[in-house]
Amino acid sequence: MKILSIFGTRPEAIKMAPVIAELNKHRDKLTSVVCVTAQHREMLDQVLTLFAIQPHYDLGIMQPNQSLAQVTARALTKLDEVLEKENPDWILVQGDTTTVMTAALAAFYRRIRVGHVEAGLRSFDKFQPFPEEINRKIATSLSDLHFAPTAVSRQNLLREGIADQQIVVTGNTVIDALLQVAEKPYDWLNSPLAAIPRDKRILLVTAHRRENFGAPFVNICAALRTLAAGYPDIHIVYPVHLNPNVKSVVQSSLGDIQNITLLEPLEYLPLVQLMKQSYLVITDSGGIQEEAPGLGKPVLVLREVTERPEGIAAGTVKLVGTDPGKIAYEASLLLENQFEYEKMSQAVNPYGDGRASERIVSCLMT
């Protein structure tokens, strides 16, 4: 059996790395081929290096400030060539990016079976997140096996008419990745984090969603400025996503504040170390919403809706949207009220036990 894993962006690479490692353990029974679209370049390469993945195909499709249609068109044609050459029994895709949607479509056109990792997440809002809600629904329609991370995502798939026997609840592979790197020794003082003061309360911030471009991003930055000015004893650390729509606003708005450090995107290992060291996480990221609760870090989510209700139900994640007053109020509450902070900083992990990849690969082999 030949399995072709296809991914293109940072989060897909982090979440597929443990699956690829697991596939490699079964070389006697299967052939594992890896293709990256390179929808991301630097942010993908950081992960490939950390997890020592050498792709068989690198389609190099990223262009500066690319449009959704451009990524889709380039990925679809180039992926078709790889599928024609390799003719795998299965492709594996992960999540809800444009790479996932196009890879599933290209495979369907060639009647190749699709396994979808992290299947069944839904916000039930077409434009939030944009375009991911529709990307993952398209991927669901095209997939033959759905690896749902939680019981909630399984239910979403059942409600859409997916047959029970095509769904396997596996946990999220992000927890496999997190557990692999969280305990690694780390030399903070000789790292990109060296200048971050560990004697202050660290607020880790990331944001990159397309629906937050423009006014919402300006509002997020305003809230961060208010917090930095109101609490000299905190230090905000923001590794800035390379999307130019994000970088330009963040740098002009937050570039010159003494207790805010803007960084280039961090490699996964330092990012996890920084999260472990943080007091609070403020983010619109999907992956970070899943990782931070496992490390006992409260998360304020800069979105109006989420497809990850499990963290909210567990009490460690709160949706705060992008209103600057609301963001600053909720963060202040956690900075000032120990009871509120402790309520949200219980280490819980609704997203898996670190064995999701094992379950995925064993299901493919049976």
User: Applying CB under 6 A, does 73 fall inside the site for ligand UD1?
Assistant: no
Q: What share of the chain is helix, strand, coil (3-state, %, to 5)?
A: 50, 15, 35
User: Applying CB under 6 A, does 306 fall inside the site for ligand UD1?
Assistant: no
For the beta carbon of residue 269, count every other beta carbon within 10 angstroms. Answer: 15
CA torsion through residues 16, 22, 25, 30, sign: negative
User: Applying CB under 6 A, does 170 fall inside the site for ligand UD1?
Assistant: no
Active site annotation includes 40:
no
Active site annotation includes 210:
yes
Quote the CA–CA distance of 102 and 229 in Å, as a whole number.
Answer: 45
What residues line the site for ligand UDP (CB under 6 A)? 10-11, 14, 174, 206, 208, 239, 265-266, 268, 271, 285-288, 291
Alpha-carbon separation of residue 308 from 119, 188, 284 (angstroms): 12, 31, 12
Per rule CB under 6 A, count of chain residues that contact ligand UD1:
23
Nearer to ligand UDP, 112 or 224 (CB): 224
Nearer to ligand UD1, 214 or 230 (CB): 214
- Could you say which of ligand UD1, ligand UDP, none residue 357 binds, taking C-beta under 5 to 8 angstroms by partner kind? none
Alpha-carbon separation of residue 290 from 248, 296, 316, 320 (angstroms): 27, 11, 10, 16
Q: Shortest distance, CB of residue 46 to ligand UDP, whole angstroms?
A: 7
Question: Order of strands across the sheet with 234-239?
Answer: 260-263, 234-239, 201-206, 280-283, 299-301, 317-319
For residue 212 the two structure tokens come to 């937050």
User: Applying CB under 6 A, does 6 fall inside the site for ligand UD1?
Assistant: no
Q: Shortest distance, CB of residue 234 to ligand UD1, whole angstroms?
A: 25
When binding is defined by CB under 6 A, the residue of 31, 66, 180, 332 that contacts ligand UD1 is 66
Q: Are 208 and 249 in contact (CB under 8 A)?
A: no
User: Applying CB under 6 A, does 9 fall inside the site for ligand UD1?
Assistant: yes
When binding is defined by CB under 6 A, the residue of 169, 242, 269, 348 that contacts ligand UD1 is 242
Residue with tokens 């950390």: 50
User: Applying CB under 6 A, does 216 fall inside the site for ligand UD1?
Assistant: no
Active site annotation includes 303:
no
Nearer to ligand UDP, 18 or 88 (CB): 18
Quote the CA–CA distance of 167 and 65 in Å, as a whole number.
Answer: 36
- Could you say which of ligand UD1, ligand UDP, none residue 333 binds, taking C-beta under 5 to 8 angstroms by partner kind? none
Quote the CA–CA distance of 14 and 46 in Å, as a whole number.
Answer: 10
Residue with tokens 């991911």: 132
Nearer to ligand UD1, 32 or 322 (CB): 322
The enclosing H or E element of 29 equals: none
Query: Looking at the annotation, which residues are catalytic?
Result: 96, 118, 132, 208, 210, 241
Q: Which residues form the interface with ligand UD1 (CB under 6 A)?
A: 9-11, 39-43, 62-66, 68, 71, 97-98, 131-132, 208, 242-244
